[in-house]
Structures are given as C-alpha cells and as structure tokens.
Amino acid sequence: MQTLTNQNVVVIGGTSGIGLATAILAHEAGANVWAVGRSAERIAVASAKHPGILFSALDIHDNEGLQALFAQIGTIDHVVACATGANRTLLPFLQQTQAQFREAFDKLWGYCNVIRCAAEFLTADASITLVSGTPARKANPGMSSLSCVGSAVEALTRALALEMAPRRINVVAPGLISTGMFDGMGDKRDATLEKMTANLPIKRAGQPAEVASAILLTMTNGYMTGATLDVDGGTLLP
C-alpha cells in the first residue's frame, strides 16, 4: 500500500459531503490537500474548520481555472472528482425534455475536463478517482438520466485505465449517503432516510467518511485500476 505522506491531492467538489470528507481524511493521512468547490459560503465554513486544507472557489467546467490550479501545484499525485457539475431532473424519461436529459451529462463533461486538464501534471504513478452512484446499475423510476450518466462515468473509467496506464483511474459508487442534500427536509430528514433505507441489509444511510475511506483506498492501493468500488449498504443486492 502506498502512503499519502507529502503527496499532493486535489479534490474537485471538496467543500462539502463526500468531497470534504475525502479532503479531511487525506489531510489526516499526511497529504497536501487542495479542495475546490463553487460555493463561497461552504468554502468559508470549511476553511475555518480545517485550516490545514487549501480551499478555493472553482467550477468543474472552468478549464482555465483548472489548468491554473494544477499549474500552481506543479505535480499531482492524486485527483478526486466528485462534483455534481450538473442540474439533474428526476422525472420519468418520457416526461423529460431532451434538454433536461442532456443537461445531466454535464457531470460527465466536467469529469472529462478535470482529467484532460490534470493529465500533464500527473506523476508517473498518479491516481484519479471519479464518483458515480448505484443508479448506474440499479435505477428506480425517474432516474434514467442519473443511470445513463453513471454508466458513462464507469465506462470512461475502464477505457482510460487502459489508455492512461501506468497511471491508475478508478470509480467509487456510493449508495444513499447522509449529506447536506437532505438538509432541506428539516425535521423530516431522519425519518425520510430511515424509510428510504428500510429494505437494505444495512438499514441506515451511509456517512460521507465511509465513502471517503473507499476513495483513499483507490489512492493508496497501487494494484487497483479500472475498478468500480461500491459503498452502498447492499443496495445492489437482489
């Protein structure tokens, strides 16, 4: 297993949820961590709580900004991309417009931007980790666009593992994770998550740190590439 001590780690979408948890764990493991996101408010909160991590504002679709960040760092050992980078419409396929369905793929295009912009700065044994989700292989009604985008992310990972070797690229696919996206439910949050996970083998929502620990595994396991690592509480089981 490789060490993260003094390694340069960049987390795109690293100011909240799974991305922030990944940045924290990588920093605790001794890495130099740059974490970026779009929300100035989240950046301010995260910076105050975690002064050892370098937070900044950046959009996953901002090629010039990505290139400037990577050039500033110089050499990059690990890149994690977990920013949504897209507006997603959760409706049955026939109720979505073509524009709405197409818009969900901005996540994939954002990941492509990150990989292309980072490529020249990656060390010879660098890793890239993308974040997908269980809808790629088990979608509920209304999740057709999420499923297609997730499947595309996982297919891209397998293809690039061959093209970019010996650099490694993997994907982590979370299930239902308790993040800030559920905060708008207010007092109904806990009850809703409990209901949504009642039929899982592990009857609770996952925590961001549980997904982050899997992402750290893809960074440090030098024999893992082209893989999809599921952290889903058993969601994909029959």
pTM greater than 0.85 (yes/no): yes
Q: Which two tokens stand for residue 14?
A: 């690293």
What mean pLDDT comes out for the span 204-223? 97
Domain membership of residue 36 (yes or no) is yes
Confidence class of residue 87 from pLDDT cuts 50, 70 and 90?
A: confident
Q: Per residue in 95-126, pLDDT tens? A: 999 999 999 999 999 999 999 999 999 999 99
Residue 64 structural domain: 8-229
Domain membership of residue 236 (yes or no) is no
Domain membership of residue 214 (yes or no) is yes
Beta carbons of 106 and 83 less than 8 angstroms apart: no
Q: What is the CATH number of the domain that holds 128?
A: 3.40.50.720
Q: In what order do the strands lie in the sheet with 228-231?
A: 54-57, 32-37, 8-12, 76-81, 122-131, 168-174, 228-231
Burial annotation 54-92 (CB, 10 A radius, 16+ → b, else e): bbeebbbbbeebbbebbeebeebbbbbbbbbbbebbebe
- pLDDT, residue 89, reads 87
Q: Which two tokens stand for residue 192?
A: 């809703």
Confidence class of residue 127 from pLDDT cuts 50, 70 and 90?
A: very high
Q: Which two tokens stand for residue 88?
A: 């997603």
Could you please report the per-residue DSSP string of 147-180? HHHHHHHHHHHHHHHHHSTTSEEEEEEE-SB--G
Domain membership of residue 213 (yes or no) is yes
Q: What is the dihedral of CA 113, 116, 118, 122, to 10 degrees?
A: 150
> How many alpha carbons lie under 13 Å from residue 204 in its C-beta half-sphere?
5
Domain membership of residue 203 (yes or no) is yes
What mean pLDDT comes out for the span 173-195? 85
- pLDDT, residue 85, reads 74
Domain membership of residue 79 (yes or no) is yes
- Within a 10 A sphere around the Cβ of 103, how many other Cβ atoms? 16
d(CA 24, CA 168): 22
Q: What pairs with residue 173 in β-bridges?
A: 230
What mean pLDDT comes out for the span 26-45? 96
Confidence class of residue 135 from pLDDT cuts 50, 70 and 90?
A: very high
Domain membership of residue 75 (yes or no) is yes
Question: Count of domains in the chain?
Answer: 1
